[in-house]
A and B are shown apart, each in its own frame.
Chain A
């Protein structure tokens, strides 16, 4: 009896190592071999669910986790993973129940406050998210997950603010962590510093070349910084305020044009119409063109 248990513990350690090195297929083979011998082993099942989650098979991961939790309802690792899986599935109310249960059992755990804060950010309960991130940071001012949640709250609240304290702290603590780079890229993007955001996003993609969200981010930023979109710079840099500026300028120009000779006025009107058509059609055409690469 003790030999297979020992073997399961060893397998779990090996699978963890393989998952850390992103060798998921190898981890899966090893795990399946071990699960064939001990199909009810909780830690092996948990790794199976983790692999499903990492391979985006969230429904399979959820089913496995439910069977794990039926055996061990208080298993913290399984509950945390279930929270992440439910988030991916978009079952946010169930995810909230899971994280609330975890917080009831571990009220002094900053990462749980951070996870709850991220959920609240996603469900647009921004003030609550801020309070949760602050509470987590009160328990541990250097907790990376709480700093991430706090930085996101600050980014959403005021992206151009220099008062943000969490992002610089994250950059100091873990400058190469994917969360930090993603946050930095998002922050630069919201400030309209698109080229800098693209450089950071490219760095992020280099760290995980097979990540679809990072690829999408780089594509989006490549589009926004494409030379052919230079005439749309005010909109790309200042968003709606830039758009209002351009429209205000156009109204002024057309008002002045009425007093000019008809040929000049006509040319200005045609130019403006061409610009409007270009601004409505070219970005989506370019997006399709770049997506072919």
Chain B
């Protein structure tokens, strides 16, 4: 079994890279645990939830309604950005709970951790690009 990326590394990827980066990074840990087939459904489900949430916040009136309800001066795009971060942290919590006992065992044995920077940065970049691409697909195109 390969060593696992720490919960802290996962957290920072979620915080800076958003939900899709977190899904990719957490899937790397699942692969290291050789339980990707077992967790695959959860990652697909998480991707579907992220797509739905982004659609609801960015392409419907929900984002604007939330911005108005919060009394914020911000726009729906700001609400989408913040909502995406909150969702990333919630997903981090969910996948952390799923892999918690493995992380606990690694801590107990003081197992070495891999350097999280290359994979973390790659997932953050890829997650951001995927989010931008997804939003481009979701958002209605302005009329010519």
- Whether A126 contacts B101 in the complex (CB less than 8 A), given A240-B7, A244-B93, comes out as yes
Annotate B62-104 by CB proximity to A: 1 below 8 A, 0 otherwise.
0000000000000000000000000001000100100001101
| Cα A121 to Cα B7 with chains together (Å) | 19
Is A123 at the interface (CB under 8 A from chain B)?
yes
Say how far A240's CB is from chain B's closest CB, in angstroms. 6
* B89 proximity list for chain A (CB < 8 A): 244
| Cα A244 to Cα B93 with chains together (Å) | 10
Q: Are A121 and B109 in contact (CB under 8 A)?
A: yes
Give the number of residues in A that approach B within 8 Å (Cβ atoms). Answer: 16
| Cα A240 to Cα B89 with chains together (Å) | 11
Is A124 at the interface (CB under 8 A from chain B)?
yes
Q: Are B105 and A124 in contact (CB under 8 A)?
A: yes
Q: Are A240 and B96 in contact (CB under 8 A)?
A: yes
Q: Are A125 and B104 in contact (CB under 8 A)?
A: no
| Cα A244 to Cα B14 with chains together (Å) | 14
Q: Are B111 and A126 in contact (CB under 8 A)?
A: no
For window 1-42 of B, CB contacts with A under 8 Å fall at 1, 4, 7, 11, 33
| Cα A125 to Cα B106 with chains together (Å) | 11
Q: Are B104 and A190 in contact (CB under 8 A)?
A: yes
Is B108 at the interface (CB under 8 A from chain A)?
yes
Nearest chain-B residue to A217 (Cβ)? B110
Annotate A147-178 by CB proximity to B: 1 below 8 A, 0 otherwise.
00000100111110000000000000000000
* A156 proximity list for chain B (CB < 8 A): 101, 104-105, 108
Q: Which residues of B contact A (CB under 8 A)?
A: 1, 4, 7, 11, 33, 89, 93, 96, 101-102, 104-106, 108-109, 111
Q: Are A124 and B93 in contact (CB under 8 A)?
A: no
| Cα A186 to Cα B96 with chains together (Å) | 20
Q: Are B105 and A121 in contact (CB under 8 A)?
A: yes
* B11 proximity list for chain A (CB < 8 A): 240
Annotate A179-216 by CB proximity to B: 1 below 8 A, 0 otherwise.
00000001000100000000000000000000000000
| Cα A204 to Cα B101 with chains together (Å) | 25
| Cα A126 to Cα B101 with chains together (Å) | 8
- Whether A152 contacts B101 in the complex (CB less than 8 A), given A124-B4, A124-B33, A125-B1, comes out as no
For window 34-62 of A, CB contacts with B under 8 Å fall at none
| Cα A121 to Cα B96 with chains together (Å) | 19
Q: Are A124 and B1 in contact (CB under 8 A)?
A: yes
* A125 proximity list for chain B (CB < 8 A): 1
| Cα A108 to Cα B91 with chains together (Å) | 45
Query: Would you give 25 A-B contacts (Cβ < 8 Å), ordered by A?
Result: A121-B105, A121-B109, A122-B105, A122-B109, A122-B111, A123-B1, A124-B4, A124-B33, A124-B105, A125-B1, A126-B102, A126-B105, A155-B104, A155-B108, A156-B104, A156-B108, A158-B101, A159-B104, A186-B108, A190-B104, A240-B7, A240-B11, A240-B93, A240-B96, A244-B93
